[in-house]
Amino acid sequence: MLKPRDGGVYLDGTFGGGGYSRAILESAACRVVAVDRDPAAAARAREFALGYPGRFEICEGRISTLAAMLAPLGVAALDGAVFDLGVSSYQIDDPARGFSFRQEGPLSMQMGGSGKDAAQIVNFCPESELADILYEYGEEKAARKIAKAIVARRKAQKFETTSDLAGVIRSVVRPDKSGIDPATRSFQALRIAVNEELSDIEAALEQSAALLVPGGRLVVVSFHSLEDRIVKNYFTSACGRAPGASRHDPAGLARPVQAQFQLLTKSPVAPGEAEMRANPRARSAKLRAMERRAV
């Protein structure tokens, strides 16, 4: 979907382990600028850069500030941008980062190196606010029951580890037929709240799209409904596919404005069976893409 071309400048908005950056750089004689807020990912990127002298640079920071980070590098336009949203495998697989309930670790979940962590939310948030976080960011139907159990438990002992929190959640929520661990949605919600992920996505889409040249493409891979909804709504609006005004609304009489972008994916592209067997973590991925129209 990205179709890198020689001489182009591309943004890898979520460097992680460098898979996207490597694929782009090896498919064309182009330049890639990557962004990642994780200090560990930025360190990997600096080592990665040694293999592509003069063609790769890393910016350490949040994707919501990408335009400000690209400007000092002389990047005022992009031929393409790609985002692979959410938590990375490096973060999930490191128990010390506290993202996974499957491994014992500190209750952190920070993608960056500073700010509040999950322990602070779990141990000090008012019960109603905690329930709202679990419901809004995790789409957890048992949010109030879980929040009540967390607050009752923290009165006796504060939460410190991932397994401790997961155990309390499992004590009040039974596994359903899907086979998904009862702690999954709550951990997702806390991670999103800690890192303010959803607002970052909205800002990143706007800034990267504004930098695209005619023919430039924006490709986004999301992994849960909250992310995908933001991407879908942004793409729909940018491509002029939002619902029209009512025939009773005077705005409906205005001459329609030509959309600046066109959709490349009428519906999200999902992984095939072979890909899911090779990479089970891809099973919930959805890819959407759009292209800036020629002037």
Q: What pLDDT shows up at residue 95?
A: 85
71 and 210 co-located in one domain: yes
Q: What pLDDT shows up at residue 91?
A: 85
Mean pLDDT of 125-149: 96
Mean pLDDT of 81-110: 88
Number of domains forming the structure of the chain? 2
Higher pLDDT, 69 or 245: 69
Average pLDDT in the chain: 91
Q: What pLDDT shows up at residue 288?
A: 98
73 and 113 co-located in one domain: no
67 and 190 co-located in one domain: no
For residue 1, being part of any structural domain is answered with: no
Mean pLDDT of 276-280: 92
Beta strands in the chain (DSSP E): 9-12, 31-36, 56-60, 78-84, 212-222, 261-263, 286-292
Q: What pLDDT shows up at residue 254?
A: 47
Q: Mapping DSSP to helix (H, G, I), strand (E, B) and coil, where does residue 136 land? A: helix
121 and 190 co-located in one domain: yes
For residue 76, being part of any structural domain is answered with: yes
Domain end marker among 179, 195, 211:
195
Tokens of 92: 């999930």
126 and 208 co-located in one domain: no
d(CA 145, CA 151): 10
Query: Do 211 and 67 contact (CB within 8 A), yes or no?
Result: yes
d(CA 109, CA 119): 9
262 and 283 co-located in one domain: yes
Q: What pLDDT shows up at residue 243?
A: 59
190 and 209 co-located in one domain: no
Task: Answer yes or no: is pLDDT of 134 > 90.
Answer: yes
- Say which range, 32-36, 174-178, 283-287, has the weakest mean pLDDT: 174-178
Mean pLDDT of 113-140: 93
156 and 173 co-located in one domain: yes
Question: What domain range includes position 36?
Answer: 9-84+197-292
Task: Answer yes or no: is pLDDT of 151 > 80.
Answer: yes
Indicate the DSSP class of residue 29.
Answer: S
How far lies 232's CA from each of 155, 225, 270, in Å?
Answer: 42, 10, 14
For residue 2, being part of any structural domain is answered with: no
261 and 214 co-located in one domain: yes
Domain end marker among 195, 213, 240:
195
Q: What pLDDT shows up at residue 179?
A: 74
d(CA 289, CA 264): 5
pTM, to two decimals: 0.89
* CB proximity list for 109: less than 8 A, separation 6 or greater: 97, 98, 99, 117, 118, 187, 190, 191, 194, 195
Report the CATH number at residue 132.
1.10.150.170
Beta strands in 62-211 (DSSP E): 78-84
Task: Answer yes or no: is pLDDT of 258 > 80.
Answer: no
Q: What pLDDT shows up at residue 96?
A: 83
Report the CATH number at residue 234.
3.40.50.150
Q: What is the pLDDT of residues 182-230, one digit of tens each?
A: 999 999 999 999 999 999 999 999 999 999 999 999 999 999 999 999 9
220 and 263 co-located in one domain: yes
Q: What pLDDT shows up at residue 242?
A: 65
Domain end marker among 195, 212, 228:
195
- Say which range, 8-22, 130-144, 174-188, has the weakest mean pLDDT: 174-188
214 and 185 co-located in one domain: no
145 and 213 co-located in one domain: no
Q: What pLDDT shows up at residue 83?
A: 97
Q: What pLDDT shows up at residue 87?
A: 85
- In this prediction, what percent of the chain has a pLDDT beyond 90? 79
Mean pLDDT of 239-253: 61
